[in-house]
Structure 1
Amino acid sequence: MVQSSGPQDEAAASRRGRKPIRPDPASGPVALFAHRLWELKEQAGDPSFADMASRLGAAASKSSLAAAARGSALPTWETTWEFVRVLAVDRLGRDAEEARREWRAHWELAASTAQTETAPPPEAASRPETAPHADVRSDAASHAADLETVAEATETEVLMAENPVARARSTPSKSLIAAIVTGATGLAAALFAWLAPGPEPAEPAARSTPAPSNSSFDDSLFEGDVTHPDGTVVKKGTEFTKIWRIRNAGTIPWQDRYLTRLNDTPCKAPKRVAIRPVQPGQSVEIAVRVRAADSPGRCKIYWKMTDAAGAELLTAKKPIFLDVVVA
């Protein structure tokens, strides 16, 4: 179902245009994750994002794939897996399950690290207040010096009272009296603040236990055509059985699911086909009976996975299809 690469990649690589800006892996966990995507893309021949979304069969748009490699925001796991699947599995031939586990670990690490780095700092109110005694002591020392000044001024006043001549020569100014009063008042306030009991320390807030993260997800992996691969020639008017192999690549068991036909063609096929229950990690072969058209031509029929009510599942995935030539 996935077409092979060819000269189109070389043509795409040689096209002139604006060169995308590669993310700096040292600028953060999301940029490092995007840098790994770029390395995988280069290992797979550096196809364009347009080719990945169309010719290579990625179930994600060209803009979504380009944004994933930009490094400004972490892409969803579904977009990440489509980026990796068409390159690592389809182009480089790596084991699908091993590639999924490896890149899922990279993705979860980037998500958790980015969340930790952007977490807000603890509330300032949770830190105990610094006791003011040191500042009060320094203020008390300063005011003690003021007190010495007050004593000297008082002594001068006594001498002047005893000596009228000196009193006439050295009458204290109003500013000196104001300084004496201010110094005494400030010293009294500092001593009171030092001796007064401080506020009781606040009780630490109870730590809330974070809710466990829900890591369950639904995913599928197309493993191949068991019968009648794309381009198979069938005789007109004959019946044949098309079989696909699909793996449950998520963590949710498949129950009461179907493949539902999306279009009509001269070849006849049932509207929907039941899928037996499939546990996570297991593969399933799905068979559908098809009758070839009565006249030569091409038959391409699409199916999507749905639930029993017909609601579409795995909406980010492209349909699987039958593609035969009637002769």
Structure 2
Amino acid sequence: MTIDHAGGPVRKRGRRARRPDPDGGPVAEFAHALLVLKEAAGDPSYDRMRTEFGAVASKSALAAAARGLQLPSWETTWEFVRPLAVTVLGREEEETRREWRARWNAARQDGDGGGTAGPEGARHGWLLVAAVVVAVAAGVVVAVNVPRARSGGEPSLPIEGDASSLVADVTYPDGSRVAVNQRFVKTWRLRNAGTVAWHGRFLQRLPPLDGLDVCHTDPRVPLPDAGPGAEVTVSVPVQARGTPGPCQVFWKMVDSGGRFYLPQSSGIYFQVDVTG
């Protein structure tokens, strides 16, 4: 979806941030490219990138990515790029991801690894076990990736081989009509489409979380455990917004500490039309 900025660029108050010099090295050049993208999308504020366009990164992390002092992690880079290039400018998501991943890798290599390693770097934190799990119900043998824990006991994320897919909207498919302030339960059916077992996971709501013109939900709901290939249902109690209009809420899979399992995924969402 392309979002029309008919009102022109968003004007900011206060002192304008210093622009990184594109000739100042690979990291500064990369940050300059991020700012050029931001301006092409109407130069929204970092708050607006988060609350309106769905960037899943803190305001400080987004701002730091564009300063050019240190290369941001790939996860932060994608949460900077995706809302602007895909949501606002309507560019194709996979093509955009490949383009900016290549830019990020080039800046990282030329800058001697100035940022945090992304999924490729995280692969070295995983051990592909030579064991297999027999999926009795399906009658197949599935190779399983087993995470290697960090020094603090938590596995590194994302996990190689981890994947999910939406099977069905069990209740309230997109475009369903509900009344103002109506309470309802949204249910999805999801499939563990990877080779990593799900345990202790949650769906976490993305901002905005509150206001008269948003639907109200718990910020996080538990996700049933699931082995590779298994399907689960997950439900979210919802109260419709207090005024007529569209309501769309995005969710992403996290661990108990709020870390994203699939940071490159756009997540899932529900969308209803609230009527008076």
* Aligned counterpart, 2:202: 260
2:253 corresponds, among 292, 297, 305, to 305
The alpha carbon displacement at 1:232 in A equals: 3.7
Whether 1:48 aligns to 2:45 is yes
Give the CA deviation at 1:54.
1.6
Q: Which has the higher helix share?
A: 1
Q: Distance in 2 between matches of 1:285 and 1:6?
A: 40
Partner of 1:87: 84
Say whether the 8 Å CA contact 1:60–1:316 is kept in structure 2: no
Q: Is the 8 A contact 1:234 1:292 kept in 2?
A: no
Shift of residue 277 of structure 1? 3.2
CA shift at 1:103, angstroms? 1.2
The secondary structure found in structure 2 opposite 1:107 is helix
Query: If you compute each CA radius of gyration, which structure gives the higher value, 1 or 2?
Result: 1
Hey, what does 1:72 align to over in structure 2?
Answer: 69
Partner Cα distance (2:78, 2:175) in 1: 27
Which of 216, 223, 234 is equivalent to 1:288?
A: 234
CA distance 1:83–1:276, shift in 2 (3 Å): farther
State how 1:170-209 maps to structure 2 within 5 Å: none
Instruction: Give the percent of matched residue pairs that are identical in Structure 1 and Structure 2.
Output: 39
CA deviation vs aligned residue, 1:91-110 (integer Å, no higher than 9, x gap)? 22222222222212211211
SS at match of 1:13: coil
Counterpart position of 1:141:
none
Change (3 A) 1:4 1:93: closer
Contact 1:261 1:302 in 2 (8 A): no
Say which structure is richer in strand. 2
1:261 Cα deviation (Å)?
A: 5.6
Q: Is the 8 A contact 2:29 2:68 kept in 1?
A: yes
Q: Which residue of 1 aligns with 2:36?
A: 39
2:158 partner amino acid: D
Instruction: Name the amino acid aligned to 2:223.
Output: R
Partner-residue secondary structure (3-state), 1:27: coil
Q: Contact 1:53–1:62 at 8 Å: present in 2 too?
A: yes
Q: How does 1:89-104 map to 2 (within 5 A)?
A: 89-104=86-101
* Partner residue in 1 for 2:110: 113
Give the TM-score normalised by structure 2: 0.56
**1:42-79 CA distances to partner (integer Å, 9 max, x unpaired)?**
22222222211221110112221111111111111111
What do residues 221-270 of structure 1 show as CA deviations (whole Å, max 9, x unaligned)? 99999744677424768776446899x9xxx954325653669x799x98
Q: Distance in 2 between matches of 1:296 and 1:63?
A: 29
Rounded to whole Å, the distance in 2 between the matches of 1:13 and 1:292 is: 32
Q: CA shift at 1:33, angstroms?
A: 0.5
Separation of aligned partners in 1, 2:262 and 2:93: 18
Q: Displacement, 1:301?
A: 8.2
* TM-fit CA distance, 1:316: 9.8
8 Å contact from structure 1 (residues 259, 275) kept in 2:
no
Distance 1:103 1:291, change over 3 A: closer
Task: Report the AA paired with residue 253 of structure 2.
Answer: M
Does residue 218 (structure 1) correspond to residue 158 (structure 2)? The answer is yes
Alignment of 1:17-36 (within 5 A): 17-36=14-33
How many residue pairs end up in the alignment? 215
1:17 is paired with a residue whose SS is coil
1:305 partner amino acid: M
Partner Cα separation in structure 2 for residue 26 and residue 296 of structure 1: 49
Shift of 1:273: 3.6
Whether contact under 8 Å (1:260, 1:303) holds in the other structure is no
RMSD of Structure 2 on Structure 1 (CA): 5.0
Which blocks of at least 5 consecutive residues in structure 1 are unaligned?
118-212, 279-283
The TM-score, its normalising length taken from structure 1, stands at 0.48
Match of 1:277 in 2: 228
One-letter code aligned to 1:105: A
CA contact (8 A) 2:188 2:235 kept: yes
* Unpaired stretches in structure 2, ≥5 consecutive residues: 115-119, 124-156, 206-215
1:298-317 deviation digits (Å, cap 9, x = unpaired): 9998865256xx56441796
Partner secondary structure for residue 25 of structure 1: coil
